[in-house]
Structure 1
Amino acid sequence: MTGVALAEELLLLAYDDESGKATMPRISLDLGMAAAVLVELALANRIAYAAGNLAVTDPTPTGEPVTDEVLAKIAADTPHTPSSWVQRLRHGLRDRILGDLVDRGVVRDVDETELGFIHVHRYPSTDPSVEADIRHRLAAALTSGQLPDERTAALATLVAVLRMEPTLHLAGAEAAGVHRRLEEIAGGAGFSGNVSLDDSVVRPSVGLVVAALAHAIDQALGKRA
């Protein structure tokens, strides 16, 4: 495991640093984070995609609490499709991950009251270096013309399928064709079915999981029949 999980990376990209508010539809973000946790488990060689379902291949904890909770939940249940798992996992996941980021000092929890009784939470950034590293990796992947590492390629794929390009804050020439480049990264990594997994530089086990989850998100958001 790395210091920042994929779901945390998505969350930091999706929240405005100053206002601390989400800048994309909540359901899209929740689905994306559920998928990101599952991708994290695939990257850690804990789950695999087979016979249309996600299954645990190694129940050993990774050391990351949220990821390990999901791993234990999958291990204790019967096999389910990627579409089923992203729906099952998305509820409450965002608040759980935001809480962890608050505890680590990456963002702070601003609890405000509207209409005298409605509590609204904002999460402005307190440690911008974490998000800066994420943005640097994605910017390098978008501009280098080379296929990035597995983790960055998986993140780029999730950004593409969730249509999160506006969160990258790119302008001018950099902004032009961003979605196309993200899809090129996904395709080159074997995550979109355009490249044989045998020819991809990422592990086939990871490629299968990411491709299946990208399709599941498309279906959940009504983008694909």
Structure 2
Amino acid sequence: MTGVALAEELLLLAYDDETGKATMPRISLDLGMAAAVLIELALAGRIAFTDGNLTAVDPTPTGEPVADDVLVRIAGDSPHTPSSWVQRLRHGLRDRILGDLCSQGVVRDVDETELGFIHVHRYPVVDASVEADTRRRLADALTSGLAPDERTAALATLVAVLRMESALGLSDGAAESARHRLAEIASGAGFSGEVSLDDSVVRPSVGLVVAALAQAVDAALGPRR
């Protein structure tokens, strides 16, 4: 597995480049990054949906440290459902990924003190090229009418389920149109959560993670209006 991880792309979209602050509810972002890591592993053929649970089917490292740590954890633990893994993995994941992005020189950690004793961390962008590529791929997927590649489709699916259309910098009218197009991309890729176990190994695994994520986001934020 090469390039920028899905969870990193998701986090960069969710943080304001200049203020370095999250622009969406952090609980839904944490859930989304957990789902992104699971989707990453499914797309890489490392985990699959078996007998109601996500299980490790190939322990070979992917080369992406966060995903590989999760793979080791899944392989060494008792079986759990997609919903359970989304909840289990969300704790501490954002800080880990922010730390990795800092070490890569993509963002920087600005440690500030409020009220004289409360430490607040901001993560403004240093290297904008990574996020620029992510935004370009999503923009192409939204406007070209063509089916995007598998990873871009997965990212588009996460953006849709996490209600992140506003992070794309669109007007209200364009955001509504983007919402429908993102859902269309997710459905076309088989990632929408409406899965058939007769399909490929990857798509049920991803689809069920997406469905678990959608349920968790609805529980945290309330049903989408």
The TM tier, using the shorter chain, reads: over 0.9
Shift of 1:2: 2.2
Q: 2:45: which partner in 1?
A: 45
Distance 1:155 1:131 in 2: 13
Contact 1:188 1:195 in 2 (8 A): no
Distance 2:115 2:193 in 1: 50
Contact 2:193 2:208 in 1 (8 A): no
TM superposition score normalised by structure 1? 0.93
Establish whether residue 6 from structure 1 lines up as the match of residue 6 from structure 2: yes
Distance 2:51 2:121 in 1: 41
Distance 1:97 1:172 in 2: 30
Give the CA RMSD over aligned residues. 1.7
Distance 2:135 2:195 in 1: 26
Deviations 1:129-169 (A, max 9, x none): 10000000000000111111110001000100000000011
Among all aligned residue pairs of Structure 1 and Structure 2, give the percentage whose two residues are the same amino acid. Answer: 74
Q: For 1:204, what is the secondary structure of its paired residue?
A: coil
TM superposition score normalised by structure 2? 0.93
Q: 1:205: which partner in 2?
A: 201
Distance 2:106 2:119 in 1: 22
Shift of 1:195: 7.8
Distance 1:2 1:31, change over 3 A: same
Counterpart code for 2:166: P
Distance 1:7 1:105 in 2: 16
Counterpart code for 2:78: T
Shift of 1:120: 0.4
Q: 2:180: which partner in 1?
A: 180
Give 5+ residue unaligned stretches, structure 2: none
Query: Among 184, 209, 219, which residue is 2:215 paired with?
Result: 219
Shift of 1:194: 5.6
Distance 2:2 2:122 in 1: 26
Distance 2:54 2:196 in 1: 20
Shift of 1:59: 0.4
Establish whether residue 94 from structure 1 lines up as the match of residue 94 from structure 2: yes
Q: For this pair of structures, how many residues does the alignment match? A: 220
Contact 2:194 2:207 in 1 (8 A): no
Q: 2:77: which partner in 1?
A: 77
Distance 1:150 1:158 in 2: 13
Shift of 1:47: 0.4
Distance 1:164 1:129 in 2: 20
Shift of 1:35: 0.3
Counterpart code for 1:60: T
Distance 1:195 1:205, change over 3 A: closer
Q: 1:112: which partner in 2?
A: 112
Q: For 1:54, what is the secondary structure of its paired residue?
A: strand
